[in-house]
Amino acid sequence: MTLVGTSARRADGEDKVRGAARYGMDYLEHGTLVAKVLRSTVPAARITRLDCSKAASMPGVRAVATAADAPGLSGLMIVKDQSLFARDVIRYVGEPLAAVTADTAEQAEAALAAIDVSLDELEPVLDLEQALAQGTRLIHPDWESYETAMPGPREGNLAWETRVERGDVDTAFDTAHLVVEDEYRTQRQHQSPIEPHAAVARYEQGRYVVHTPTQFPHNVRGRIAELLGIRLSDVRVIVPTIGGGFGGKLDVMVEPFACVLARKTGRPVRILNSRSEEMTTCGPRENAIVRLRTAVASDGTILAQDGVVLADNGANSSGETVAVANVAPLVLGGTYRIPNARYASKVAYTNTTPTAAFRGVNGPYCVYAQEQHLDHIARELGMDRKELRMNNLIRRGESMVNGQQLDDAFLVEAMDKVDEIRPWQDAQAERRPFRGVAVVPLTWLTNPLPAAASVKLEEDGTATVTCAGAEIGTGAVTTGVLQIVAERLGLRLEDVRVSPTDTDTGGFDGGAQGSRTTYGMGNAALDAATKVRDQVLEVAAGMLEAAVDDLEIVDGSVRVSGVPDQQVAIPSVVGTAMFDSGPIGASGKFATPPIPFDSGCMAGAAVTSFPAALYQAHMTEVEVDPDTGRVTVLRYVVAQDVGRAINPQMIEGQIQGGVLQGIGYALFENLRLGDNGEVIDDNLESYRLPTAADAPPIEAAILENPCSYGPLGAKGAAEPPIIPVAAVIGCAVADAIGKPINELPLTPFAVLQAIKES
């Protein structure tokens, strides 16, 4: 069999192109009520009165919920500082105050308008640096009382900090040939999947049954339970087809409102975000400030780096910003040898919408900063920018800043591959005014969270995979994992199916995040399929009176190797097994093996290493219009190590899609906040997403550098293509205009201003 490595069509594709796939936003139950949420219009206030009595008695209104209905405090894994509804204090524009369910949307809206709210407004804290300044009002005065999942530096408006320190940084700076220092500022970016958040909940037999298009069903289950103050097993999450997520659907968002209201009414309750609610209340990628100071030798060798990353948490830790704070130091110190390093990653509270995960968490702005900074160093030294990078690149067997040894480092190979497609020397030689070129290497991780899957054989000889892996759209669950299982079982791809994603039937799964589905779920499903294969061969060995070792499974039959006419079809093996050893089926599981690193060098780190590390290089050539400042990406080349390519066409699709999201971040996407900390860009006219006209030609080379513990050698593939994009475009634009720009996005206005200042 050679299913793995082929560009098999996605198994859920026909329904999608026929318009027959039922998404979360399409899901309805009989007698479903409509829910709407009343949200704060001020960024900071004390609630002096919240009277819902009039609203509750309005026509069609079935229930109203407030803070009293959701007593728990929760947060994404680390700091438990979020309540479902504001209690006493409001901390951002858009914070939920109450929720109403009614027969119609109009009735629910009318009831929201009838809720009587009185507030004492407080001075909002909107600026990231001001939030951490001495004497600034505390957004969470009770911060010390919050439960945390682990110890870590935190105080006042500093929600969390992680620190990494290795070597003797101060001495390295004292004796360096050159010290370079820079500051970079980056914006919020919104995930903006086509499908908004949607959920339908019902309450039956003392449990909440929630249909929601989430990337991470087990997380949503746990977060609903924590916010409502109930056991997590009292929640069942079922996932319809998901209309995109990009990190935005990892966390609980609208589900708990539907749950509370379903319990109060005994009816199914549906909540569906408008695009405006989506933009203003669903956490975007955090805005950040990155400060880097680097000591280098005269030949460009990096001697030491001191870095501070300031990231905006928004009003609470409901998003992933705290949990992944330590990705910042690891990505800053994961691509180049930095023998002496001191990094602090600080996450600050502000009176703004909580920030959250977006593909490549922390990565895009750290890499943007690091690469502009390296270009600055190259300019100071009069050195070729690529040569500086190649000289400092981590080689096989060398270590990242956390002491993790990268035995399979493949950065040189990725850079060489890009150079083969578009030689650096040629690009330099062909330079013209207002054209720029850049190349950026990068080490990234595969999310290591565990996975479980089970595989059973049906009486007709087909196989069914059951798991809680969410099909976010990459094809990892509905195609990649099935290719792995079909290959192991010797079945045709169309004879392996996956049952719907359900936390009641599927074991724990770490979610469709950080490229982990093919890796984690692939491993768990491969484990289960291997056990099923063993069962098949054992039963067939008895039927064929042959030794297990002499058997092979080909085209749905077990046969004695080299004796094709001595064979039994799988359905008859399943039938024989049924009354002999029992139905054929097995559970599989996977946990990432421990990654050795220097635990003594870090504090506050929830992410401590780069498991199943992967390597890539991105190269681009851009043109800047000197009259308008508009940047055109002329050419884009990616070389990416995926370990083993299970489905090359799908990987290419991830690279093309990730790069275009990165181009949006680099050039125009910017979720701006107004004077009250409110989201200005609450629609897709002012928040512009990349269109077909913005997509440059992208050449992608897939490199296979197997991971010893990945399924058939596979590592993550889908997340990383977004990460180096802003960096490489930023460097190329600076090259084109002969001047760095230390802030994203690189809009025509920003670029034109930079040109005019020079």
Q: Measured from the CB atom, is 26 or 430 closer to other proteins?
A: 26
> Which residue from 233, 274, 428, 753 is in contact with other proteins, where contact means CB under 8 A?
274
- Choosing from 1, 5, 7, 67, the residue that interacts with other proteins (CB under 8 A) is 7
How far apart are the C-alpha atoms of 444 and 330, rounded to whole Å?
A: 9
**ω before 583 within 30° of 0 (cis)?**
no
Stretch that binds other proteins, among 21-29, 344-352, 372-380, 486-494 (CB under 8 A): 21-29
Site string for other proteins, 228-247 (x = CB under 8 A): -------------xxxxxx-
Q: 91 to each of 39, 188, 287, 350, 355, how far by Cα in Å?
A: 11, 18, 18, 8, 13
Cα–Cα distance, 344 to 158 (Å, whole number): 12
> Which stretch in 4-12, 38-46, 423-431, 457-465 sits in contact with other proteins by CB under 8 A?
4-12
Q: Say whether residue 92 binds other proteins (CB under 8 A).
A: no
**Residue from 228, 253, 406, 660 in contact with other proteins (CB under 8 A):** 660
Distance from the Cα of residue 746 to its chain's centroid = 23
Q: Is 337 in the site for other proteins (CB under 8 A)?
A: no
The SS3 of residue 35 is strand
Alpha-carbon gap, residue 290 to 507, rounded angstroms: 39
348, 136 Cβ separation under 8 angstroms: no
Cβ of residue 287: shortest distance to other proteins, in angstroms? 21
Given 101, 187, 189, 192, the residue binding other proteins (CB under 8 A): 192
Using CB under 8 A, which residues numbered 698 to 757 contact other proteins?
698
Compute the distance between CA of residue 571 and CA of residue 370 in angstroms, rounded to an integer: 58
- Total of residues contacting other proteins (CB under 8 A): 55
Question: Interface with other proteins by CB under 8 A: which range of 48-56, 257-265, 347-355, 695-703?
Answer: 695-703
Q: Please identify which residue in 10, 62, 342, 417 interacts with other proteins, judged by CB under 8 A.
A: 10
Residue from 305, 280, 279 nearest 292 by CA:
305
**Vertex 239: Cα angle to 235 and 241 (nearest 5):** 165
Q: How far is the CB of 706 from other proteins (least distance, A)?
A: 23
Q: Residue 2 interacts with other proteins (CB under 8 A)?
A: no
Binder of other proteins out of 1, 9, 589, 702 (CB under 8 A): 9
Residue 579 burial by Cβ neighbours in a 10 Å radius (0-12, 13-18, 19+): exposed
To the nearest whole angstrom, how small is the minimum distance from the Cβ of residue 26 to other proteins?
5
* Site for other proteins contains 474 (CB under 8 A): yes
CB of residue 349 vs other proteins: minimum separation in angstroms? Answer: 29
Choices 389-397, 443-451, 537-545, 646-654 (CB under 8 A): range interacting with other proteins: 646-654
* Residue 534 contacts other proteins per CB under 8 A: no
Among 2, 18, 134, 600, binds other proteins (CB under 8 A): 18
Smallest separation, CB 708 to other proteins (Å): 29
Nearest residue (CB) to other proteins, 191 versus 670: 191
Of residues 695, 706, 713, 748, which one binds other proteins by CB under 8 A? 695
Residues with Cβ within 8 Å of 115's Cβ and at least 6 positions away in sequence, in order, are 38, 50, 51, 52, 54, 55, 64, 97, 98, 100
Assess 29 for contact with other proteins (CB under 8 A). Answer: no
Phi/psi at 443 (5° precision): -100, 135
Closer Cβ to other proteins, 279 or 727, answer by number: 279
End-to-end CA separation in angstroms for the chain: 61
Q: State yes or no: residue 20 binds other proteins (CB under 8 A).
A: yes
Per the CB < 8 A criterion, the answer to whether 664 and 689 are in contact is yes
Span from 121-129, 143-151, 374-382, 644-652 in contact with other proteins (CB under 8 A): 644-652
Kindly state the smallest distance separating residue 213's Cβ from other proteins, in Å: 9
Compose the 134-173 pattern: x for residues touching other proteins by CB under 8 A, - for all others.
----------------------------------------
C-alpha to C-alpha distance for 698 and 450, rounded to whole angstroms: 33
Distance of alpha carbon 357 from alpha carbon 191, whole angstroms: 9
CA distance 758 to 744: 18
Q: Which of 240, 189, 190, 188 is nearest to 215 (CA)?
A: 240
| Interaction of residue 659 with other proteins, rule CB under 8 A | yes
Stretch that binds other proteins, among 335-343, 365-373, 446-454, 466-474 (CB under 8 A): 466-474
The span of 378-386, 398-406, 690-698, 704-712 binding other proteins (CB under 8 A) equals 690-698
Name the residue nearer to other proteins (CB basis): 226 or 719. Answer: 719
| CB closer to other proteins, 81 vs 471 | 471
Laid out side by side, the sheet with 235-239 consists of 61-65, 96-102, 33-39, 269-272, 198-204, 207-211, 235-239, 501-502
Question: How far apart, in whole angstroms, are the C-alpha atoms of residue 314 and residue 76?
Answer: 13
- Contacts of residue 383, defined as CB under 8 A and 6 or more positions apart, other chains included, come to 300, 377
Q: What is the DSSP annotation of 611-666? A: TT-EEEEEEEEEEE-TTT--EEEEEEEEEEE-SS-SSHHHHHHHHHHHHHHHHHHH
Cβ–Cβ < 8 Å for 289, 365: no
CB of 452 to other proteins, least distance (A): 24
- Residue 266 sits at φ, ψ, to 5 deg, of 70, 15
Closest to other proteins by CB, 275 vs 672, is: 275
Q: Is 14 in the site for other proteins (CB under 8 A)?
A: yes
Contact region with other proteins (CB under 8 A), list: 15-23, 100-108, 176-184, 313-321: 15-23
Residues that bind other proteins (CB under 8 A): 7, 9-10, 12-14, 16-23, 25-26, 191-196, 241-246, 274-275, 472-475, 649-650, 652-653, 655-661, 683-685, 689, 691-693, 695, 697-698
